[in-house]
Amino acid sequence: MPPLPLNATTQITRAVRMAVFGASLTSLSGLVLMPNLACAQSQTVYQIAAGPLGKALAQFGVQAGVTISFDTEQARHLKTDGLEGSYSVDQALDRLLANSGLQAERQSNGGYVLVARNSEASLELGATQVTTNQLGSVTEGTGSYTPGTIATATRLVLTPRETPQSISVVTRQAMDDFGLNSIDDVMRHTPGITVSTYDSERTNYYSRGFSIVNFQYDGIPTLRDTQYSAGQTLSDMAIYDRVEVIKGANGLLAGAGGAGGTINLIRKKPTADFQGNIELGAGSWDNYRTQVSVSGPLTETGNVRGRAVAAYQDKHSFLDHYSRDTSVYYGILEADLDEDTLLTLGADYQDSDPKGSSWTGSRTVFDAVGNHLDVPRSFNNGPKWSSWAQYSRTVFATLEHNFDNGWVTKGQYNHQVNGYDAPLGYISQDTATESSIWAQKYTGKTTSDSLDVYASGPFEWLGREHQLVVGQSLSIAKWKGKDYGRATYFDNSYDFYQWHGQAIEPQWNQPTRINNVTTRQTGTYIAGRFSLMDELHLLLGTRIANYHVTGTRDSQANGKVLPYAGLVYDLNDNFSTYASYTETFQPHTEYLDSAGKMLEPNEGKNYELGIKGEFFGGRLNTSLAYFEVHENNRPIQDAVFNAIPDNDIAYIPTESKTKGYEAEISGELSPGWQLQAGYTHKIARDKDSEKISTWEPQDQVSFYTSYKLKGNLDKLTLGGGARWQSAGWQTLYNSGLRSSEKFTQDPYWLVDLMARYQLTENLSATLNVNNVFDKAYYTNIGFYTSAYYGDPRNVMVTTRWDF
């Protein structure tokens, strides 16, 4: 197809501008009628000096506004004659790659993959991408279950093999294949992560025996509050390219936090060429979902690019009288201010509006006289008016500049508002014959402002090239909330076994508690990757952190030093061994000792030894690690002093130690065959060698795979996966019998299947069947002596039209 005339390109650019920044879903979906612009390429003036090919491609990616996937190891030994003049993207790449033995192959997402000239697709080089955002490889459009590069651990953009820590990445392709539309779905899919469901709106994630409280958005850290849940664990995946999960302590970049790990959600980026898609899905329990995405250049030269995403889901549940509506909107703009400077502006918005929310689990374990409660899996203890509505609003900006010597400076700013409005209730068995509603209401929001500025780049010392990153971060979070704990009830008497959610909402009266808390964190960090030998690299870093909480809760920690150390030795072309040591800390805001004094901050230390493998130019990654996590000042209830003034529970600090090992493999086993699998074993004990965190399984297995068939069946992709975990248990107090007993979740398997058929070049249909054998299992036991069932067998059919 010949290039479109200039006037057509201008009209299209204007239309894309309107689409990307339109306020309504209608204006977005109208773009489906636009012609295919895949071959429309304008010319840009380039000035790229002769020299190493990898550096030249990095500069070209900035100037052209495109992503290029290639094997960094092979490109490191190649040179280019440079580029000067006005060219289209394809012409420019041909000149840059002249005499290299490589050629650029255009992908459906507007990016390019370098392949050997005159080779089959099976000889494609690795999925390591030159990106302009210093966040690592964009996974969208690669078709891969493994990343090329990541930066979550140190801010240095490294391959998984070069990173001396265990990191799992769920890519865009894995999310699309298995219908992972929520962060809960992604975490269940991630090797080594336990998802514990408290009630219909609250979940918690565990890694290596610890709750994960550290979230990042494009590398900007935030701490979640599991008590007043406000959006993080309800995040919709429509706006994200991938989710990176770093296992163990991560104080270097996160500052304050837990020892379990960090979840980093990386947003989708604009594309250099116009593209878009519409998804329509329908599934079990009246689950309906619509998603629209439009992306492309907003100027004729392509120096300004934009993207917009909108999603809406109306989802009912296997739980009685429960449903949730989710609305998501996202817009991002990239502008090349000059050939070396990139400005990014964006915003995202999400509303979660449930009806019939369960609270403190979906059902209690024991009835009023102490028998095990026997109710259907669909039983929902919440009344129909119960609702834990949550929302998030974010605006963000980054400014990045590349210097000729390979250094990059970047400033990131993130403004986020997370809020909740939660009138909640649940039916409780007061006696064998009487039941009533217990209700409370919570409202509030947290306003967070975060700023991170750093510089990163190479330097020479003792005849070798090394890498360094130096940064400064600041975050201020202000939480204001009200608790309503003395409701006035109307006709508060119900039949537990005839419960269908019909109840009168109480009068909430005046707040019984007003929260006003400001959390301020500052940190200065530095990290370097030193090339001691060709095969040996030392990573050293540290963060000096300050943490202050003021208001209705008070806590502080000043000048906390958090070291980072890692050593990586390349055994051969495919394998490297590594050792690492990391730390983190988390000041307490609720745990008081018998004298009413706040406990000292919780401290975590992570020791890790392992071996990593990289195959097929980075398209397949493997890892095997042994780890120990040591924890100090873990709060446990004081058995001697049960309470202190104001009826607060007294706590004492203790120690814990978690030991274990994990293995993971992700990526392409052969052309068209993708796999992500892992095995984790861990045991956590206190200072008396007693097992703790027993609800988390000691052993977990997960594997998910897909295969695109060949020949006459090449339009069909088949896949599936399974998760297994060993037994977990809690000791629960049975108030009816006034005794404690062990409640166990037996080991179980869950099996999922998927199939996709490419109906036409642009239209596909995907079938996902989850929990194929309809296994009944609990995702949590013990929370307020309650239990919560996992989803029964369910089906989702999704059609996607790419344009």
Q: CA–CA separation, 678 vs 655, rounded Å?
A: 29
Average pLDDT of span 697-703: 96
Question: Given this chain, do its domains 44-117 and 266-802 carry the same CATH topology?
Answer: no
Tokens of 375: 């109710």
Quick one: pLDDT band at residue 652, thresholds 50, 70, 90?
A: confident
Quick one: pLDDT band at residue 556, thresholds 50, 70, 90?
A: confident
Q: CA–CA separation, 227 vs 718, rounded Å?
A: 40
Q: How many alpha carbons lie under 13 Å from residue 505 in its C-beta half-sphere?
A: 11
Tokens of 192: 């080594």
pTM over 0.95: no
Per-residue pLDDT, 323:
97
- Mean pLDDT comparison of 26-40, 53-67, 339-353, highest-scoring range: 339-353
Quick one: pLDDT band at residue 96, thresholds 50, 70, 90?
A: confident
Average pLDDT of span 122-130: 36
Task: Write the DSSP symbol of residue 598.
Answer: B
Q: Which residues, other chains included, contact 104 with Cβ-Cβ below 8 Å and sequence gap of 6+?
A: 68, 90, 93, 94, 97, 112, 113, 114
The pLDDT of residue 43 is above 80: no
Q: CA–CA separation, 10 vs 504, rounded Å?
A: 59
Amino acid at 637: Q
Q: Is 518 helix (H, G, I), strand (E, B) or coil?
A: strand
Our CA dihedral for 570, 404, 135, 465, rounded to 10 degrees, sits at 20
State percent of the chain over pLDDT 90: 67
Q: Characterize 732-744 residue by residue with b for buried, 16 or more Cβ atoms within 10 angstroms of its Cβ, and e for exposed.
A: bebeeeeeeeebe
Sole residue written with tokens 């900007």: 220
More confident residue, 118 or 553: 553
Question: Cα dist. 755→178, 706, 707, 796 in Å?
Answer: 9, 9, 9, 11
Q: How high does pLDDT run on average in the chain?
A: 87
The pLDDT of residue 32 is above 80: no
Quick one: pLDDT band at residue 382, thresholds 50, 70, 90?
A: very high
The pLDDT of residue 19 is above 60: no
Quick one: pLDDT band at residue 118, thresholds 50, 70, 90?
A: low
Tens of pLDDT, residues 218-242: 999 887 776 777 778 889 999 999 9
Quick one: pLDDT band at residue 704, thresholds 50, 70, 90?
A: very high
Per-residue pLDDT, 328:
97
Q: Which residues pair with 328 in a beta bridge?
A: 311, 350
The pLDDT of residue 2 is above 80: no
Average pLDDT of span 30-46: 46
Average pLDDT of span 482-508: 94
Tens of pLDDT, residues 261-285: 999 999 999 998 899 999 999 999 9
Tens of pLDDT, residues 735-766: 989 999 999 999 999 999 999 999 999 999 99
Q: Is the dihedral of CA 655, 190, 790, 213 positive or negative?
A: positive
Please report, for the chain, the start and end positions of each structural domain, with discontinuous segments joined by +: 44-117, 266-802
The bridge status of strand 341-355 relative to strand 602-615 is unpaired
Q: Which residues pair with 586 in a beta bridge?
A: 602
Per-residue pLDDT, 643:
60
Quick one: pLDDT band at residue 39, thresholds 50, 70, 90?
A: very low
State percent of the chain over pLDDT 70: 89
Q: What share of the chain is helix, strand, coil (3-state, %, to 5)?
A: 10, 55, 35
CA nearest neighbour of 178 among 669, 675, 531, 740? 675
Per-residue pLDDT, 617:
84
The bridge status of strand 555-570 relative to strand 44-48 is unpaired
Q: Is 14 helix (H, G, I), strand (E, B) or coil?
A: helix
State the alpha helices, DSSP H only, in 205-312.
Answer: 251-254
The pLDDT of residue 465 is above 70: yes
CA nearest neighbour of 345 among 405, 393, 394, 390? 394
Class of domain 44-117: alpha beta
Average pLDDT of span 105-132: 54
* Helix 89-96 vs helix 53-64: crossing angle, to nearest 10: 170
Amino acid at 480: K
More confident residue, 641 or 64: 64
Neighbour count for residue 116 (Cβ, 10 Å) = 14
String of DSSP letters for 41-66:
---EEEEE-SEEHHHHHHHHHHHHT-
As to burial, measured by CB atoms within 10 angstroms (0-12 exposed, 13-18 middle, 19+ buried), residue 497 is exposed
Q: CA–CA separation, 630 vs 636, rounded Å?
A: 16
Quick one: pLDDT band at residue 135, thresholds 50, 70, 90?
A: confident
Q: Which residues pair with 519 in a beta bridge?
A: 477, 549
Task: Write the DSSP symbol of residue 505.
Answer: P
Q: What is the CATH number of domain 266-802?
A: 2.40.170.20
